[in-house]
Structure 1
Amino acid sequence: MNFRNINIAFLLLSILILGSCKTNKKSVKLTNSKPKNILFIAVDDLKPLLNAYGESEMYTPNIDRLAKMGTIFTNAHVQQAVCGPSRASVMTGMYPDHTKVWDLETNFRESAPELMSMPEYLITQGYETSATGKIYHHGPVSKGHDYKSWSIPHTEPNYFDEKYGNPVLAYQNPENKRLLTSYINEAKEKGLNNKQQREYAFEKLKPSTESADVSDQSYTTGLYPLEGIKKIDAILNTGKPFFVGVGFIRPHLPFIAPKKYWDLYKREDIKLAEFQELSEGTPKIAYHSFGELRSYSDIDNNARIGKKLPEDKQRELIHGYMASISYVDAQIGKLLDALEERNILKETVIVLWGDHGYHLGDHTEWNKHSNFEQATRIPFMFAGPGVAKNTKVDKPVELLDLFPTVFDLVGVKSPQLDGKSLTPLLDTDPNTNIDPQYAVSQFRRHKSKMGYSIRTNRYRYTEWHDEGYRSYTPYEEGRIIGRELYDYQVDPLETRNLVDDSDYASEAKKLKAQLKDFLTK
């Protein structure tokens, strides 16, 4: 994929837009007569473990409600299954090889300074933009959670329920708070700075789950809808259309939720991953040793690829993940209620997305960080004007398609992007349609190795390339160190790599050609 011409075009477009914005801000007008609002809901580490996606054991009435209000994509995939690259991609509408963000440390403003973010572009189109919570990855973004994206500053709420007090390092359980506070004080006495104090405390105590009998507003998750509603009200008072982002950190580890959400599920009824083995014939590079989970003090740090966690710990973790989802679901309901109470549902486009999927013991894996189905597949849904109601689309689509799709729905002309508009799949007009053939994901291993994966309606084909290969460098067969092929029609759990199976030779050749075409175009 040659990005050089795209880079130059996008840079020129950005200069023209920003230049006109600086010299004649008041003259900017929307392309449609009645501008539409955008409520942008991001949920960290959320896989499609939702009732609306057929997971009937889940209690997610508000996400179900949103699904009935619009259209959900059942075969949607992220560009890279880790927070930083995924969020940089969706916010710019560009693949990771274009943003140059493949890790948690890189800021796209430095690696690809010619790019504009979605809300930044909307400012030039007369929108007021603001956000709360996790929209970009917290670590590398510039001051103000990428301050260029917001006409009204991004904020992190801290007005916790006074009955329970502020959490300590995200925890509210009284014993956890007491111990963590004591460890922080020890670190202070040693002269350690704030970051070092946190690290010192977590070396001694870092639970992977917490169920405390507290209110929703005792954790930050319960404050995000309140803060988002404040921003909506402030912008409504200006008479301008809004882009308001609300980014929920849960169900990211640690799996924390008030006790009432844990009580929705019986641990003894929780199903463990059906396939907890390494896939037959799959190269080792496809796996990782879930270091993110192993960093927690109640997890065996000696666990590695191929080793299953004890079943009671698996059930506890899955229970916490499910409770966290239901907790977030309740907060999403507050946002939907607010739009309804203000009578602006009909003029607001709502999009909900997860930044990647999540392993919960399948392949003995936990967290994300792979090109397997459980890591790349996400919930992805739209509602509002121009969107068909109570509809499911099973075509393979990509998260970066969000940028041009939202712009189409609100009537704003989109810049040149890697993604495509999905509006022909969202409307009720049978005369408009597109037929995407595959979604692309990638994952970097050990800096020099990159795995590229395409997911069709039925198959996933993956190639692992070495020697620092990227899609903008020459494609060489000699760099390929591993290949994978899975058939979800006959093997939905990816138990066997079929790439060398003679019965799949023709399909493997076809998929390889498709991936190579994508990588070299």
Structure 2
Amino acid sequence: MKFSRVLMIVCFLNIFSALGQSNSKPNVLFIFVDDLRPELGAYGNEIIKTPNIDRLASEGSVFKRHYVQVPTCGASRYSILTGTLPQSREHLSNEAIRMFISGEPETNRPETFIHQLRRNGYFTVGIGKVSHYIDGLYGYEESSKNAPPELPYSWDKNLFNAGKWEDGWDAFFAYADGSSRITKERNVKPYENGDVDDDGYPDGLSAKLALEQIDSLANRDEPFFLGIGFFKPHLPFNAPKKYWNMYDEAEISTTASPFIPENVNLASLHDSPEFNRYKLGDEHPVLNRPASEEYAKKVRHAYYAAVSYTDAQIGKLIDKLKSKGLDENTIVVLWGDHGWQLGDHQVWGKHTLFERALKSPLIIKAPSIKKQERDVEEIVSSIDIYPTLMELCEVKMPYETQGRSMVNLMSKKNNDRNWQENAYGYFNNGITVRVPRYRYTKYFRDEQPVIELYDHKNDPNENKNIAAERPKLVNKLDKVLEEGNTGLYSNNN
């Protein structure tokens, strides 16, 4: 009886704590995940173990065809944070935020959507890799002491616990013994199953920090924005052994696109330099020497384990929101910064304009929308997230962007039938546009062919370029592509 009474009091305290916040605007928990393919239960993968992300998906909207603008970390994050398409070659670099935001004076134009929320009454907290740099601006092998912030005006608090790895970059490439790819001078494997608990790798420490912050934020009067950036499944594919042990390698399939696509120049692909940077890898696959099936399965196994590890950390955050009575007034966004080719077209990495590199997960739970559309099939882009959040948070867009609010797509009652379905991607001297049936790509280079066309109805894995067979369609789609050419390229390049 006494226990029941204590439990009831705790529940009431949590409810009153949540009600103590201003209910005029929702809180936001934004989860940034590095190198996450839409390889999740909610996206139809029956082997991978992602129960917590799947639980979030069951309560929100799953965007089945979401595309990033640039298939590399820093540039993709610049696009989502500003809601803009790349305007120059420099916007395609991992240094985009450093070049165009960091160190600049504060102006009327907010540096990010987080800055705009902060200006409109939100208390903002960042943990881990939200932008590109983790704990200040410094190079991989430089000192982190006195490093200036990458986003000087977006955060009320910007936190990171590097643990035994001591700084952000060593934590980013961490191994369980406290070493990193950097300290080991790349003499490491691209995977590890460490005999440690969740806190034995940095993402566990980030989750712990986030739980502490939720406890603190629940007692504040103003709404909060909590952004947390998890490293995994970025290389190295390291995770505690218990997540590795979830899988039977024999049950893991390899890619449905194991060969270089027909009618494609090798310049559209690459020799997986990021993956092969790990000198002790069992194999070093390149385009003319693909990985063996045995090694391909092992690497996928490691990737899956890293995803399951991240999923477990996400589950802790969702459970904490509910325990504090915050889940009914907190928007939760899960976003992958780009895809990753796990041997698809003989590539191990991102940095291409193919579907696997540009397509990533996007899940949004918005409590204010009482009947959310479970599966959103329309094509959307990362730049659409900024205006969507502003509408959900009842904050004015500070400037016009190419992005569009997806709120109507998320509502069963107000589904947007006029939504224009195209998503642009930029990299490797090329531009691509994804429309409902096709992917059309145009390169500005000497190597031929420079035009690629894939029919996703008949060839969902992009195994054959049919541009030469469909000249009229190429002409039509070229006009759509040019609408997204923001000045990066011209036919004279």
Q: Distance in 2 between matches of 1:228 and 1:355?
A: 20
Q: Distance in 1 between matches of 2:320 and 2:372?
A: 20
The letter for the 2-side match of 1:499 is: A
Q: What pairs up with 1:259-278 in 2 under 5 angstroms?
A: 259-278=241-260
- Asked if 1:147 is matched to 2:152, the reply is yes
1:358-416 CA-partner distances (Å, limit 9, x unpaired): 10001000110001010000000100223444610111110111111011111111122
Q: Distance in 2 between matches of 1:338 and 1:201?
A: 37
Q: Distance in 1 between matches of 2:214 and 2:184?
A: 37
1:27-60 CA-partner distances (Å, limit 9, x unpaired): xxxxx97111000001000000000000011111
Root mean square deviation, CA, Å: 2.7
| Cα pair distance change 1:200/1:46, threshold 3 Å | closer
What is the Cα deviation at residue 310 of structure 1?
A: 2.3
8 Å CA contact 2:432, 2:440 repeated in 1: yes
- Asked if 1:56 is matched to 2:46, the reply is yes
1:97: which partner in 2? 87
1:422: which partner in 2? 406
What is the Cα deviation at residue 520 of structure 1?
A: 6.3
8 Å CA contact 2:172, 2:202 repeated in 1: no
- Asked if 1:482 is matched to 2:414, the reply is no
| 2:443 aligned counterpart, secondary structure | strand
Q: What pairs up with 1:415-494 in 2 under 5 angstroms?
A: 415=398, 416-430=400-414, 432-443=416-427, 445=428, 450-466=429-445, 482-494=450-462
2:358: which partner in 1? 376
8 Å CA contact 1:81, 1:356 repeated in 2: yes
- TM-score normalised according to structure 2 size: 0.84
Give 1:208's match in structure 2, choosing from 163, 177, 190. 190
Q: Distance in 2 between matches of 1:302 and 1:332?
A: 32
The letter for the 1-side match of 2:174 is: A
8 Å CA contact 2:81, 2:386 repeated in 1: yes
| Cα pair distance change 1:77/1:346, threshold 3 Å | same
2:332: which partner in 1? 350
Q: What pairs up with 1:39-54 in 2 under 5 angstroms?
A: 39-54=29-44
| Cα pair distance change 1:254/1:495, threshold 3 Å | same
2:174: which partner in 1? 170
The letter for the 2-side match of 1:280 is: E
Which ranges in structure 2 are unaligned for 5 or more consecutive residues? 1-21, 138-146, 488-493
What is the Cα deviation at residue 431 of structure 1?
A: 6.5
Which ranges in structure 1 are unaligned for 5 or more consecutive residues? 1-31, 182-197, 468-478
The letter for the 2-side match of 1:201 is: K
1:413: which partner in 2? 396
The letter for the 1-side match of 2:434 is: R
Q: What pairs up with 1:223-262 in 2 under 5 angstroms?
A: 223-262=205-244
Q: Distance in 1 between matches of 2:171 and 2:328?
A: 38
8 Å CA contact 1:69, 1:390 repeated in 2: no
Q: Distance in 1 between matches of 2:303 and 2:415?
A: 41
Give 1:516's match in structure 2, choosing from 457, 482, 488. 482
| 1:407 aligned counterpart, secondary structure | helix
Q: Distance in 1 between matches of 2:56 and 2:318?
A: 8
| Cα pair distance change 1:435/1:107, threshold 3 Å | closer
8 Å CA contact 1:385, 1:409 repeated in 2: no
The letter for the 1-side match of 2:388 is: T
Deviates more, 1:217-226 or 1:35-44: 217-226
Q: Distance in 1 between matches of 2:375 and 2:343?
A: 28
| Cα pair distance change 1:317/1:300, threshold 3 Å | closer
8 Å CA contact 2:284, 2:291 repeated in 1: no
Q: Distance in 2 between matches of 1:297 and 1:517?
A: 43
The letter for the 1-side match of 2:123 is: E
8 Å CA contact 1:424, 1:434 repeated in 2: no
Give 2:114's match in structure 1, choosing from 110, 119, 122. 119
The letter for the 2-side match of 1:399 is: S
8 Å CA contact 2:173, 2:236 repeated in 1: no
8 Å CA contact 1:83, 1:104 repeated in 2: yes
Q: How many residues align?
A: 445
1:471-517 CA-partner distances (Å, limit 9, x unpaired): xxxxxxxx99711000011011211101001xx23322221111123
Q: Distance in 1 between matches of 2:326 and 2:23?
A: 16
Q: Distance in 1 between matches of 2:249 and 2:38?
A: 20
1:133: which partner in 2? 128
Q: Distance in 1 between matches of 2:326 and 2:183?
A: 48
What is the Cα deviation at residue 518 of structure 1?
A: 3.0
| 1:440 aligned counterpart, secondary structure | strand
Give 2:275's match in structure 1, choosing from 288, 293, 296. 293
1:29: which partner in 2? none
| 2:385 aligned counterpart, secondary structure | helix
| Cα pair distance change 1:436/1:317, threshold 3 Å | same
| 1:123 aligned counterpart, secondary structure | helix
| Cα pair distance change 1:374/1:463, threshold 3 Å | same
Q: Distance in 2 between matches of 1:458 and 1:167?
A: 41
| Cα pair distance change 1:201/1:414, threshold 3 Å | same
- TM-score normalised according to structure 1 size: 0.80
| Cα pair distance change 1:127/1:520, threshold 3 Å | closer
| Cα pair distance change 1:345/1:111, threshold 3 Å | closer
What is the Cα deviation at residue 213 of structure 1?
A: 2.0
Q: Distance in 2 between matches of 1:46 and 1:359?
A: 10
| Cα pair distance change 1:143/1:434, threshold 3 Å | farther
1:18: which partner in 2? none
8 Å CA contact 2:387, 2:397 repeated in 1: yes
What is the Cα deviation at residue 123 of structure 1?
A: 1.2
The letter for the 2-side match of 1:171 is: Y
The letter for the 1-side match of 2:436 is: N
| 1:514 aligned counterpart, secondary structure | helix
1:413-450 CA-partner distances (Å, limit 9, x unpaired): 1122221111110123236544222111111x3xxxx2
Q: Distance in 1 between matches of 2:480 and 2:430?
A: 15
The letter for the 2-side match of 1:310 is: S
Q: Distance in 1 between matches of 2:448 and 2:271?
A: 22
| Cα pair distance change 1:291/1:418, threshold 3 Å | same
8 Å CA contact 1:294, 1:300 repeated in 2: no
The letter for the 2-side match of 1:55 is: N
The letter for the 2-side match of 1:37 is: N
8 Å CA contact 1:282, 1:484 repeated in 2: yes
| 2:442 aligned counterpart, secondary structure | strand
The letter for the 2-side match of 1:39 is: L
What is the Cα deviation at residue 252 of structure 1?
A: 0.3
Give 2:293's match in structure 1, choosing from 298, 307, 311. 311
Deviates more, 1:107-116 or 1:381-390: 107-116
